[in-house]
Amino acid sequence: MSKAVDVRPEDVASIESIIATDYELISDRADEPRDWHRMRTLFHPNAHLIPIERDSDGKVIANVMTLDEFIKSRTPLLAAGAFYEWETAREERREGRMAHVWSSYEAARAPGGESIRRGVNSIQLWNDGSRWWILSITWDAISAAQIQAV
């Protein structure tokens, strides 16, 4: 497995740091392009990102994507408006070299701003003996309109 020579060791040294870096990299102003290269250093080369969302027919699906497919699909959305996401709660289970993190989050158009959605990330991680890798993230979210209705 090839490792990026420019990976920041502090990004992948712990479960806490890799998850914090992932949230940091997805969050920014619309006019600031995301650092997709740095994000790639967090994910195993065969990682999957799986949003639970509706397809064009309105059917709820698990949309399984590679990191490159995620970047391609989300770049236009993130360029259209500021987006900030932060963790609000965490449950972690670790055994041997693997970990599962249930990371609840909120998102807004400004850091700490009025919530536009909230959800949970189910994050699977692996430590190869020298660093942590994100193997997959599955997430489900509800919009601000859905939050108001609850």
Span 31-78, pLDDT tens digits: 999 999 999 999 999 999 999 999 999 999 999 999 999 999 999 999
Specify the pLDDT at position 53. Answer: 93
Q: In which residue are the tokens 């965490």 written? A: 90
Specify the pLDDT at position 142. Answer: 86
- Dist. CA 53–CA 51, nearest whole Å: 6
Using alpha carbons, list the distances in angstroms from residue 108 to 13, 83, 86, 142: 28, 6, 9, 13
Cβ atoms of 139 and 50 within 8 Å: the answer is: yes
Q: What is the pLDDT of residues 110-137, one digit of tens each?
A: 999 999 999 999 999 999 999 999 999 9
Q: Is the pLDDT of residue 150 over 90?
A: no
Q: Is the pLDDT of residue 149 over 80?
A: no
Using alpha carbons, list the distances in angstroms from residue 3 to 15, 58, 128: 18, 39, 11
Q: In angstroms, how far apart are the furthest CA atoms of the chain?
A: 48
Q: Is the pLDDT of residue 5 over 80?
A: no
Q: Pull the structure tokens for residue 40.
A: 């790639």
